[in-house]
């Protein structure tokens, strides 16, 4: 619980990011070094709340033992805190960087005061664990003789592979990209999640523990050089689909075909791959340098497009958001412990404000047309302002505007998984085109085929994908062995 009176004595103090003007000049991580004194003080704020909602269903999806490791950090027992953290989370170095921290939204202290800085403390624990050499490969002592193929190496696939391997099964992970990690590798920019220092370090640990990774291999119907998923279902005792929700939501308005209109993931993926391959010297990416950039859609993906465009050296930057600006505090219909739908300033917004003098977001605006320069290239976007009336979005007459734009990035979310790996198996789908598999069971209509993560539940958080991967591994282990000891 930390210090019994700590929550009354100390104010919330989050770990600062690097200076906004300096960090947007590179793709290094935005975080500063951990301040042990500040973290110890923040751990002291964890109160004896009786029922820790931070680890409830409204809080942490993987049910991290948050009060326990807050208390251990307060007392200076960092190694024990790491052990507590790893009991529920295979990859705290990922969630400590990119999770939006629903645990903090459900912190009991947050009813009357700012919540405990749970995310900062989590990241500090695991980073110290690596720095001290406490995180080492732990291969299983005994192998079961059972084999499992995991399709997709995002957070769900990696957490499932880690748990199945821990149970002694022989796990092979198939990834169509050239590097392991899924959205951890190519969906999140390097300044938020360093690929060499953070992602590849963990992947190497998994290799050392005995997991086999096969990259550059699409799993589909066996045509065009792909690995036939039906053969995998025959060769392995079980197949787990963790392919993510990678079908982007489009914006089918006039001019959509123009050069310069891209899905956000086209932009982010190419940028990170080129950065890792050559630090952008190969030119194999969509450059925003000296361009008028408009990002359509908010959320983490929109923010990452903002941050990446700034680092390229864009000429101007605007972010369109369809809905009104959220309130500064919880609304009456958004009570604790639900996720607080409030106005937030993320790293990209802060950087844009530093460079251009204002927050890049424009609220209550709808894109009506992409305007051509006459040669097939984008030169502007025509918009109309909108407002909410009786729960519906309506255009405001006379509010039409035109915005100069050379590059438009669509960050509108995702509709569901691609079906290249599922159609040949005749996997059933739900009404949203996700793989149909009951939560908590994760078994599809095909006898030895399971599904977990965004491909099963729809687009969600990294931490929820990790949870589903862990739970699917537990149920798969139970099916293979008749009993399971996996949590």
19-52 residue pLDDT tens: 999 999 999 999 999 999 999 999 999 998 989 9
Instruction: Look at the alpha carbons of 139, 144, 147, 149 in this order and tell me if their dihedral is positive or negative.
Output: negative
Residues 151 and 240 in one domain: yes
End of a domain among 131, 160, 177?
131
Work out how many domains the chain is built from and give that number: 3
From 270, 346, 258, select the one nearest 302 (Cα to Cα). 346
Encode pLDDT of 210-245 as tens digits.
Answer: 999 999 999 999 999 999 999 999 999 999 999 999
The residue segments making up the domain with residue 313 are: 250-412
**Share of residues in the chain with pLDDT > 90 (%):** 97
At 145, list the tokens: 């003789």
Query: Is the bond into 109 cis (omega within 30 degrees of 0)?
Result: no
- Please enumerate in sequence order all residues whose Cβ is within 8 A of that of 431, keeping only pairs 6 or more positions apart, or say none: none
At 253, list the tokens: 């308005």
Task: Assess whether pLDDT exceeds 90 at residue 57.
Answer: no
Encode pLDDT of 307-324 as tens digits.
Answer: 999 999 999 999 999 999
End of a domain among 361, 379, 412?
412
pLDDT at 357: 97
Residue 16 CA to chain centroid, in angstroms? Answer: 21
Q: Specify if 277 maps to a domain.
A: yes
pTM for this one? 0.96
Encode pLDDT of 453-477 as tens digits.
Answer: 999 999 999 999 999 999 999 999 9
Residues 57 and 172 in one domain: no
Residues 264 and 378 in one domain: yes
Q: Specify if 321 maps to a domain.
A: yes
Residues 83 and 187 in one domain: no
Q: What average pLDDT does range 293-301 have in this prediction?
A: 96
Q: Specify if 55 maps to a domain.
A: yes
Residues 88 and 168 in one domain: no
Instruction: Report the 10 Å Cβ neighbour count for 375.
Output: 8
């Amino acid at each position: 619980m930390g210090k019994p009176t700590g929550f009354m004595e100390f104010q919330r103090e989050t770990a600062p990011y690097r200076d906004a003007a300096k960090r947007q000049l590179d793709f290094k991580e935005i975080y500063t070094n951990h301040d042990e004194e500040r973290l110890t003080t923040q751990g002291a704020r964890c109160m004896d709340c009786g029922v820790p909602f931070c680890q409830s269903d409204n809080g942490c999806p993987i049910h991290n033992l948050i009060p326990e490791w807050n208390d251990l950090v307060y007392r200076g027992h960092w190694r024990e805190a790491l052990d507590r953290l790893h009991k529920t989370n295979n990859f705290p170095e990922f969630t400590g960087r990119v999770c939006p921290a629903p645990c903090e939204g459900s912190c009991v202290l947050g009813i009357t005061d700012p919540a405990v800085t749970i995310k900062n403390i989590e990241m500090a624990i695991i980073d110290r664990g690596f720095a001290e050499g406490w995180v080492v490969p732990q291969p299983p002592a005994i192998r079961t003789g059972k084999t499992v193929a995991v399709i997709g190496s995002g957070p769900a696939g990696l957490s499932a592979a880690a748990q199945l391997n821990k149970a002694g099964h022989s796990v092979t992970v198939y990834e169509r990209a050239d590097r392991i990690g899924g959205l951890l590798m190519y969906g999140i920019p390097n300044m938020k999640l360093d690929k060499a220092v953070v992602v590849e370090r963990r992947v190497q640990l998994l290799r050392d523990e005995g997991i086999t990774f096969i990259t550059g291999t699409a799993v589909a119907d066996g045509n065009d050089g792909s690995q036939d998923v039906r053969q995998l279902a025959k060769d392995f005792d079980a197949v787990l689909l963790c392919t993510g929700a990678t079908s982007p939501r489009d914006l089918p308005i006039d001019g959509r075909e123009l050069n310069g209109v891209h899905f956000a993931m086209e932009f982010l993926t190419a940028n990170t791959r080129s950065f890792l391959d050559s630090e952008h010297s190969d030119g194999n990416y969509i450059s925003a340098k000296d361009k008028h950039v408009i990002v359509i859609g908010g959320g983490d993906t929109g923010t990452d497009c903002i941050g990446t465009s700034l680092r390229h050296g864009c000429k101007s930057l605007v972010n369109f958001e369809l809905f009104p600006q959220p309130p500064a505090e919880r609304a009456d219909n958004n009570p604790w412990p639900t996720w607080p739908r409030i106005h937030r300033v993320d790293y990209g917004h802060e950087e844009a404000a530093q460079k251009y003098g204002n927050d890049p977001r424009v609220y209550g605006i709808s894109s009506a047309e992409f305007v051509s320069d006459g040669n097939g290239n984008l030169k502007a976007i025509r918009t109309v302002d909108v407002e909410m009336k009786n729960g519906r979005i309506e255009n405001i007459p006379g509010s039409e505007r035109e915005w100069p734009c050379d590059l438009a990035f669509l960050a509108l979310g995702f509709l569901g998984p691609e079906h290249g790996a599922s159609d040949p198996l005749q996997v059933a789908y739900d009404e949203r085109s996700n793989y149909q598999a009951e939560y908590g069971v994760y078994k599809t209509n095909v006898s030895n085929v399971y599904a977990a993560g965004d491909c099963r539940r729809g687009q969600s958080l990294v931490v929820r994908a990790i949870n589903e991967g862990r739970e699917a591994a537990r149920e798969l282990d139970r099916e293979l062995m008749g009993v399971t000891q996996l949590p």
